[in-house]
Copies of this chain bind each other. A is one copy, B any other.
Amino acid sequence: MPDHLLPLINEALAALPYPQAPKGLYEPIAYGLEGGGKRLRPTLLLLAYNIFGQDPTEALPAALALEIYHNHTLLHDDFMDQAPMRRGRPTVYRKWDANTAILSGDTMLIMAVEQMNRLECQQRHEVMTLFVRTMKEVCEGQQYDMNFERMNDVSMAQYLEMIRLKTAVLPACAAKTGALIGGADEEAAQALYDFAIHLGLAFQIQDDYLDVYGDPKVFGKNIGGDIVCGKKTYLLISALNKAEGQDKERLKGWIEDKALTPDEKIKAVTELYNRLHIAEEAKAAIDQHFALAAQCLDRVGAEPERLQPLRDYAKSLLGRNV
């Protein structure tokens, strides 16, 4: 675990200068940013930087940009999804109101760009271009995710493209940005981008898996939440693809059935998943993307010991060796 990077990131976030007023605009931003979280994107960025560069503080504005942007998306997504809680605390639109969530969220997006624009290296323009493209892709991913709620025929290809956009491109942007600022050439930086795409996909599929098969004490959320709200996950789409005849009709029925209790829904769907060996399918997909991520690391062309902290971090995220 990159224990030395987390304090660097958290201290820099805590030291962000906020104007004194208007309080109603800046307090929710500080609330969002002090909420903790894994700081996955800035950590990836600095680990990728460290493969090539000597002084991670050089890349810190970019690391802050990605973390602030990520928290902007949480703030707006929580309102769009009407999520009441985040990291054990009320979400901003619940603690304040919808307008606060929108306007403070907008300000966070601007602050993210502000941080990226603070970079003093010659790669600033290239990095900003990648950042802008990535942010648009994240919006596209969120749009697809919302579209999927009203669709009954989401294909696995559509699902994987959605999670690539919604969750994988931002860590990928982080890894490539860190590499570029550190002085990597385009090929090595792109290899790190591709590495983080596969890591992100593996991570999201694992999240879908753990929602059904995880240990609630470790997972930190209630088991079966995705099943209860009929969310299109890797598991549900696999099951819809694999189920035949009566199974398929019953599964479709359970997803939309509002008369079933949550526990009944979870029990029925999980039993079908078990019968169809969906857990094994999800695990195979996680393995596949993990293996592809490892291949990407081989393409970076750096000394093994320089890559080791990134391997260790990937391992800590997914509980396995990359």
Contacts and interface: CB of A to CB of B under 8 A. Distances in A.
- Majority-rule SS of A interface residues: helix
A109 interface: yes
A136 B109 contact: no
A95 to B, nearest CB: 16
A111 B114 CA distance: 15
A125 B117 contact: yes
Nearest to A124: B125
Nearest to A81: B99
Contacts of A22: 140, 143-144, 147
Contacts of A110: 109, 132, 135-136, 139
A193 to B, nearest CB: 19
A79 interface: yes
Contacts of A102: 76, 79-80, 102
Interface string A115-139: 0010000001100110011011001
Contacts of A99: 80, 146
Contacts of A143: 22, 24-25, 103
B106 A76 contact: yes
A113 interface: yes
Nearest to A120: B125
A109 B111 contact: no
Interface in A253-311: none
Given A80-B99, A110-B135, A111-B136, 17 more contacts: A22-B147, A24-B146, A25-B139, A76-B102, A79-B102, A80-B102, A98-B98, A110-B136, A113-B113, A113-B128, A114-B132, A114-B133, A114-B136, A117-B125, A117-B129, A124-B125, A128-B128
26 contacts: A19-B140, A22-B143, A22-B144, A25-B139, A25-B140, A25-B143, A76-B102, A76-B106, A80-B98, A80-B103, A98-B98, A99-B146, A103-B142, A103-B143, A106-B106, A106-B109, A106-B139, A109-B109, A110-B135, A110-B139, A111-B136, A113-B128, A113-B132, A114-B133, A117-B125, A128-B128
